[in-house]
Amino acid sequence: MILGAGKGIGKDIAFYLAGRGATISITYFDWPEESAKTLEELEKLGGDHLAIHADLRRPTEVEKLLGEISSKFNGLDILINNIERGGMPVVHGEYTSEQWDLELETTLKAKRWVFKKALPLLKQSGDGAVINISSIAGLVGRSGPAGLVFNDGYSAANRAVSLLTESWAREGAPEVRVNELMLGFFRTRHAEGTRGWKLLSPGERQAIIAHTLLGRSGRKRDVIKAVRYILEGGDYLTGTTLRLDGGYVLGGSGVPPMPKGVL
């Protein structure tokens, strides 16, 4: 089950897993044009794939979602906990109470409700896996070049996701592995292909790229490789955060030459 798969990275992960032979269930909520295109592409795949429109901030809709999956598939092996909402300061400006609530409820609360309801099904599989998708906003907040992209509430929610990852790894063990994939600036997620990126000046965009040690934003293949490793190669990996940010968190400070010393 891949949350928030109507477009972007969630969609990329979903179709990658389908291509590997998985039967997928995806959720979508807004972005109607992009989601409609995704549903068309999913239908062309054939098979028993499932797409469900749901507002996962609401526990009743989460219950319904897991009920449909249990009824149709009688089990669940993988949960990609991708749902989030990050209002860029460059887009939204000063916070409203409604925007703050939307970011916390979507990025944090919805992840929690889905995991709790999905855990019994994941345990039944005997070899379940959960990937919580998060953001380096939880580490850097509104500091440096990222300050125009990461809002306060979104940053706070992502820091909390890391705590939940560790707690859920304890709850899931030994049948379910729970890990976190913490993303930096990616195309269609915070960087190119987002409306906020377009609002930044060329200098502001370049400052973000220059702050990233590898000198570029992330790409689809970078995420897919990381997901594949966690799911297929990380049999002994649980409660861990894999930071995939091209070195953004380490950027901005160089390493000075070693001084000659006095001895």
Q: What is the pLDDT along the chain (263 residues), one digit of tens a residue?
A: 999 999 999 999 999 999 999 999 999 998 888 999 999 999 999 999 999 999 999 999 999 999 999 999 999 999 999 999 988 899 988 889 999 999 999 999 999 999 999 999 999 999 999 999 999 999 999 999 999 999 999 999 999 999 999 999 999 999 999 999 999 999 999 999 999 999 999 999 999 999 999 999 999 999 999 999 999 999 999 999 999 999 999 999 889 999 999 88
The two tokens of residue 238 are 């649980």
For residue 42, what pLDDT is reported?
Answer: 94
Name, in order, each residue with C-beta under 8 angstroms of 178's C-beta and a sequence gap of 6 or more. Answer: 129, 130, 132, 165, 168, 169, 171, 172, 238, 239
Amino acid at 98: E
- CATH T-level topology, domain 8-244: Rossmann fold (3.40.50)
The two three-digit tokens of residue 19, written as one number? 């291509």
Q: Which of 131, 14, 26, 154 lies closest to 81 in space, CA to CA?
A: 131
pLDDT at residue number 263: 84
C-alpha dihedral, 226 to 238 to 133 to 98, nearest 10°: -170
Distance between CA atoms of residues 236 and 138, nearest Å: 25
Exposure string of 144-162, with b = 16+ CB inside 10 Å and e = fewer, is ebbebbbbebbbbbbebbe
Q: What pLDDT is stored for residue 30 in this prediction?
A: 87
User: How far is CA 151 from its chain centroid?
Assistant: 16
Count Cβ atoms below 10 Å from residue 61 Cβ, excluding itself. Answer: 18
pTM over 0.75: yes
pLDDT at 98: 92
> What pLDDT is recorded for position 86?
86
- Three-state DSSP at 196 gives helix
